Amino acid sequence: MAQNKHVISKDLKWSEKTALSILNNYPKAWQIDGNQKPKWDYKMGFLLFSLEKLYQKTNEPRYLNYIKEYADEMIDSSGNIEKYDQKEYNIDYVNPGKILFHLYDITKDNRYEKVIVQLRKQLENQPRTESGGFWHKQIYPNQMWIDGLYMAEPFYTQYTLRYENGKSLDDIAKQFELVQNHLVDKKTGLVYQCWDQSKQIAWANPKTGTSPTIWGRGIGWYMMALVETLDYYPKSHPKYKTLVGYLNQISKSAVQYKSSSGLWYQVADKPQLKGNYLEPSASAMIIYALAKGSDKGYLASNYKKTAQKSFDAFVKEFVKVGETGEVNILKVSPSVGLGGKPFRDGTNEYYISGKTKDNGSPALAAFLLSALELDK
């Protein structure tokens, strides 16, 4: 039986057009990016977080139902996540936990709270580098990945304020401090994707331990990690100003590396590199973080103007509206990583040679959030 599709009126805002396109193309949230079976995954977490923000603005029940349906399909009757194994210590698994705070508040269903507590337990036992940074996964010893900040810290901040009287706020600030000290490139002020404190892995710079490439989406993950952590981080905490300072540093550096139209490259610091391309997920994440940072007063108001101009350039460059009004975002970078088998060496070439695809979920979610933040 064909599902009744939502009608996408051209009078709707970009955020709702994008949301309804997602609901039409992926009747179940786990189907995004062509997944064949349900999985608990950071990408669904990011996508559903964007829909949660839209629901909070519109009170449109179909968005909430879509989020809840995913949670209920992934969490069994006794409050366990299907196929989740804490011992993998995969920091990506923490990200979808963010959608459960709101669901729990609305429904008071204890299964959601049980999962929230399980994910906190994972962080409690997550292996750490010698200096106290979370490993990205058990299989990546001594490595902090920039996307890991987004996966863990906004969840961790909400948790510690809600259940622990904020006792972990210093630890959260510490994760960002390690990024500033070890993953920020001294020359450009931008962030590398990874840092191996042991400097053992083949891709690590022998002096600094960083991976070789400054990845556009990595900058986006980091900026979003900061603005979303600051959503909850108490202003009265001594580290609050420090985090705002980090956001100002990375925002200033990122703006220096945008294209003349206002978008960002896959290999962010090398626009001239042969085969390099403007990349939608990086661009939308940075636009969202600049707009939100400015709205919240962490960043100066001129960043909002930059975000608006870049948003218009984004629509021109990447958005294609289909016959029935659905939003398509073109040429999204595939997922990239480092190490593993086969070994990924993290060279500039590796980042630009991956096959792009339309409607990759990080771009859809970030575009929805940026449209919402700019009220476009």
Q: Residue with structure tokens 């786990």?
A: 30
Helix (H) or strand (E) run with residue 310 in it = helix 302-318
Q: Residue with structure tokens 């400015």?
A: 294
Contact 371, 13 (CB under 8 A): yes
d(CA 338, CA 210): 11
Upstream peptide bond of 238 is cis (omega within 30 degrees of 0): no
Query: Counting beta carbons within 10 angstroms of the beta carbon of residue 335, is it exposed (0 to 12), middle (13 to 18) or buried (19 or more)?
Result: middle
User: Rg (Cα) of the chain, in Å, rounded?
Assistant: 19
How many CB atoms within 10 Å of residue 38? Answer: 16
Helix axes 14-25, 61-74, angle to 10 degrees: 40
Q: Is 332 helix (H, G, I), strand (E, B) or coil?
A: strand
| Structure letter (DSSP) for residue 4 | P
d(CA 39, CA 34): 12
Contact 131, 178 (CB under 8 A): yes
Q: Which residues are within 8 A (CB) of 59 and not within 5 positions of it... i.e. 6 or more apart?
A: none
Active site (catalytic) residues: 147
Region of 267 (left: φ > 0; alpha: ψ -120 to 50; beta: rest) is beta
Q: Which residues are within 8 A (CB) of 130 and not within 5 positions of it... i.e. 6 or more apart?
A: 142, 197, 198
d(CA 261, CA 312): 9
Does the CA dihedral 177-270-371-18 come out positive or negative?
A: negative
